[in-house]
Copies of this chain bind each other. A is one copy, B any other.
């Protein structure tokens, strides 16, 4: 089954819904209504229903959505039902924070390889992974890693991306504040946290 018709904006929200479901499942509720989920996440109920309608009826009128089934379905659509192994390149402050960030695990991600170019860091163990020399990055092929996370300075990002593509990575999360272009076959998502901060003052009262 393909879900080609799910709008991008809906895909963008699915992880949010998933987060809501995963955290609310601690309440041991078997079902959850769109109104309840909307309340938890701070969005509109009809937006949620519309989004869910793109992949068919999982809700029961008068009752709501079965939390477990819906969770599984969303994971399947996002291809999170199979675990993903990622590699992190660059263990500066940001890289270290990413490595320690607990949020990845709940989506089934495992940062299985870590690289840096600083000889003082190479060989160090963080958690259960050992930092490897970035020069050995091209030898990543065959280690079943499909995702790359780039947390290196701007000037090196494209170069690292090229190597990642060469070794067969299929998706890149780029934390460097710059454009990266790669083969159309590889999806790149760039995050620049400063950009979000930069539009905050616009919405603040002029004081």
Contact in complex: B192, A11 (CB < 8 Å): no
**A12 CA / B200 CA spacing, docked (Å):** 10
| Residues of chain B with a CB closer than 8 A to A42's CB | 179, 181
**A203 vs B15: C-alpha distance in the bound complex, in angstroms?**
14
Task: Judge whether A207 and B146 touch: CB under 8 Å.
Answer: yes
Each complex incorporates copies of this chain amounting to: 2
- Look across to chain B and name the residue whose beta carbon is closest to the beta carbon of A18: B198
CB atoms of A93 and B101 under 8 A apart: yes
Per-position 1/0 for A97-130, Cβ under 8 A of B: 1111101101101000000000000000000000
Contacts of A86 in B (CB 8 A): 197
Q: Are A201 and B171 within 8 A (Cβ)?
A: yes
Distance in Å from the Cβ of A152 to the closest Cβ of chain B?
A: 13
* CB pair B19 A177 closer than 8 Å: yes
Given known pairs A94-B97, A187-B204, A205-B185, the reply for A107 and B171 (CB within 8 Å) is: no
Residues of B within 8 A of A96 (CB): 93, 96-97
Q: CA separation between A206 and B103, bound complex, in Å? A: 24
> Judging by beta carbons under 8 Å apart, are B177 and A200 in contact?
no
Minimum distance in angstroms from A155 CB to a CB of chain B = 11
Beta-carbon contact of B199 and A15 below 8 Å: yes
A83 CB to nearest chain B CB (Å): 10
* Contact indicator B15/A198 (Cβ below 8 Å): yes
Residues of B within 8 A of A205 (CB): 170, 185
Nearest residue, chain B, Cβ from A109: B197
Q: Does A163 contact B (CB under 8 A)?
A: no
| A12-B199 in contact (CB<8A) | yes
Q: Distance (Å) between the CB of A61 and the closest chain B CB?
A: 27
Q: Which residues of B contact A206 (CB under 8 A)?
A: 79
User: What would 7 A/B residue contacts be, using CB atoms closer than 8 Å?
Assistant: A19-B195, A94-B101, A147-B204, A173-B200, A189-B200, A191-B193, A193-B193
A145, chain B: closest CB distance, angstroms: 12
